[in-house]
Amino acid sequence: MDTPAALIDTLKMQRNIQRMQQRADSLGVHLRPHVKTHKCTEVVAAQIAAGAHGITVSTLKEAEYFFELGLHDILYAVAMAPHKLPQALALRRQGCALTLITDSLAGARAIVDFGREHGEAFAVMIEIDCDGHRSGVKPQEPLLLEIAHLLGNTLTGVLTHAGESYGLDTPEALQAIAEQERARCVEAAERIRAAGLPCVQVSVGSTPTALSAMNLDGVTELRAGVYAFFDLVMHNIGVCRTEELALSVLTTVIGHQAEKGWIITDAGWMAMSRDRGTQSQRRDFGYGQVCDEHGEPIAGLLLSSANQEHGVARFEDSGMDVVAQFPLGTRLRILPNHACATGAQFGRYHAILDNGEVHVWERLRGW
């Protein structure tokens, strides 16, 4: 196998998928996985086989790709840009049960007007801001009901994403923000219903909150994505162990700077991505945790810096003879900070099956 290569440990992946599905089942909600992490047919198939209901996507290209593969219930969970409405219309006309989202009057008006012009009633959800992280309407704002009235019967529900959960690392804090996510989204739904408008779906989720919520009363579906692979950011948050990380990058030692204790690899930031998500967390893993060829972490050895096609691995505190210990040609694996960003660097995965066979799984790229 040439390097760098993106590897999936399929046994770990299946366990991760089962864990999240069982979590959703125990909380009494549907699981709608976000496929933006892996963008891969085989991974989606495993999620659906485990019991998932529909999928969440971050691009209309993903929606088109997975619809062609037979998935019809698709939520496009990015605020709808008006110029993409013809693309969404084409999907709807082909039979895709595509749901759009918006968080503004201008966005809602564009969807309604375009739909009326073309004889299409798009299904639309309103994005709720539950933590000030990124987008959405606050549940108490008058704007919420203004958007709801404008959408009228095309409104199918509300959704939210507690992105601030990525900055937490204790069970108590994660449970609190999971409850905040639930409560504020349910509050928005109740306000809409009290105004006499439809609001059937209440959709919440992030991997940290999904694995931390104590109850999801009033919620209909859970969304999460990175859980299929997990990564070092999720490890630092406290929702997985390093041995549960299913994605790694296979790399080859191509040189050394012995006097500095540097091991030079062929996995730079083009393989690992520029994501340094652990830098602001309790443990900084540089560009990734270095493991042996079999995936066992090597204590203290991190990919400490990266250029485009070169990575520099070094021990945090060691006088080891790195040339003797890691000679030219040595194969290593690197666990990524952010599985979504690292996966995006590759056009395919090498999936390692339980019996040791390696299958190539294609990965969708682009917009």
Contact 281, 236 (CB under 8 A): yes
> pLDDT at position 318, please?
75
Mean pLDDT of 226-253: 98
Phi, psi of 316 (to 5 degrees): -65, -35
| Torsion angle in degrees (nearest 10) through CA of 35, 41, 47, 48 | 110
Contact 40, 363 (CB under 8 A): yes
Kindly give the interhelix angle for 41-50 and 10-27, rounded to the nearest 10 degrees. Answer: 40
Q: Does residue 224 sit in the same domain as residue 255? A: no
Phi, psi of 104 (to 5 degrees): -145, 160
What is the SS3 assignment for 42? Answer: helix
Each residue of 79-96: b (16+ CB within 10 Å) or e? ebeeeebeebbebbeeeb
> pLDDT at position 119, please?
97
pLDDT confidence tier of residue 320, bands split at 50, 70 and 90:
confident
**Residue 361, in any domain of the structure:** no
Percent of the chain with pLDDT over 90: 98
**Residue 358, in any domain of the structure:** no
Contact 124, 131 (CB under 8 A): no
Over 80: is that where the pLDDT of 138 sits?
Answer: yes
Task: Report how far residue 119's alpha carbon sits from residue 178's, in angstroms, rounded to the nearest whole number.
Answer: 39
**Residue 367, in any domain of the structure:** no
Task: Report how far residue 266's alpha carbon sits from residue 274's, in angstroms, rounded to the nearest whole number.
Answer: 15
**Residue 341, in any domain of the structure:** no
- Sequence-separated (6 or more) residues with CB below 8 Å from residue 163: 131, 133, 134, 206
Task: Report how far residue 67's alpha carbon sits from residue 94's, in angstroms, rounded to the nearest whole number.
Answer: 9
Contact 346, 363 (CB under 8 A): yes
Mean pLDDT of 138-163: 98
Q: Determine the structural domain holding residue 269 and report its residue range.
A: 246-335
Q: Does residue 250 sit in the same domain as residue 195? A: no
What is the maximum span of the chain, computed from C-alpha positions, in angstroms? 73
The mean pLDDT value of the chain amounts to: 97
CA atoms 33, 366, 250, 233: torsion sign: negative
DSSP string covering 54-119 = SEEESSHHHHHHHHHTT--EEEEEEEPPGGGHHHHHHHHHTT-EEEEEE-SHHHHHHHHHHHHHTT
Q: Does residue 54 sit in the same domain as residue 135? A: yes
Which ranges constitute the DSSP H helices of 118-255? 142-151, 171-194, 207-210, 232-237
Long-range pairs of 185-189 with CB within 8 A, sequence gap ≥ 24: 185/128, 185/130, 185/139, 185/158, 185/159, 185/160, 185/219, 186/217, 186/218, 186/219, 187/139, 187/140, 188/126, 188/128, 188/137, 188/139, 188/144, 188/158, 188/160, 189/157, 189/158, 189/218
**Residue 343, in any domain of the structure:** no
Q: Does residue 223 sit in the same domain as residue 264? A: no
Q: What is the pLDDT of residues 2-51, one digit of tens each?
A: 999 999 999 999 999 999 999 999 999 999 999 999 999 999 999 999 99
Q: Does residue 164 sit in the same domain as residue 298? A: no
Q: Does residue 283 sit in the same domain as residue 318? A: yes
Task: Report how far residue 37's alpha carbon sits from residue 35's, in angstroms, rounded to the nearest whole number.
Answer: 5
How many structural domains compose the chain? 2
Give Cα separations from 26 to 60, 130, 153, 240, 264 (angstroms): 31, 23, 32, 19, 47
> pLDDT at position 181, please?
98
pLDDT confidence tier of residue 316, bands split at 50, 70 and 90:
confident
Mean pLDDT of 256-275: 97
**Residue 4, in any domain of the structure:** no
Which CATH number do you get for residue 89?
Answer: 3.20.20.10
Mean pLDDT of 145-158: 98
- CB neighbour class for 212 (10 Å; exposed up to 12, middle 13-18, buried from 19): buried
Q: What is the pLDDT of residues 38-88, one digit of tens each?
A: 999 999 999 999 999 999 999 999 999 999 999 999 999 999 999 999 999
Q: Does residue 61 sit in the same domain as residue 144? A: yes
Over 80: is that where the pLDDT of 266 sits?
Answer: yes
Contact 145, 156 (CB under 8 A): no
Q: Does residue 165 sit in the same domain as residue 298? A: no
Q: Does residue 152 sit in the same domain as residue 276? A: no
Over 90: is that where the pLDDT of 319 sits?
Answer: no
Q: What is the pLDDT of residues 206-238, one digit of tens each?
A: 999 999 999 999 999 999 999 999 999 999 999
Which CATH number do you get for residue 275?
Answer: 2.40.37.20
Count the alpha carbons within 13 Å of 190 in the hemisphere toward its beta carbon: 10
Contact 236, 282 (CB under 8 A): yes
pLDDT confidence tier of residue 168, bands split at 50, 70 and 90:
very high
The pTM (predicted TM-score) of the whole model is 0.97
Q: Does residue 270 sit in the same domain as residue 221? A: no
What is the SS3 assignment for 156? Answer: strand
Q: Does residue 299 sit in the same domain as residue 196? A: no
**Residue 351, in any domain of the structure:** no
**Residue 33, in any domain of the structure:** yes
Q: Does residue 222 sit in the same domain as residue 280? A: no
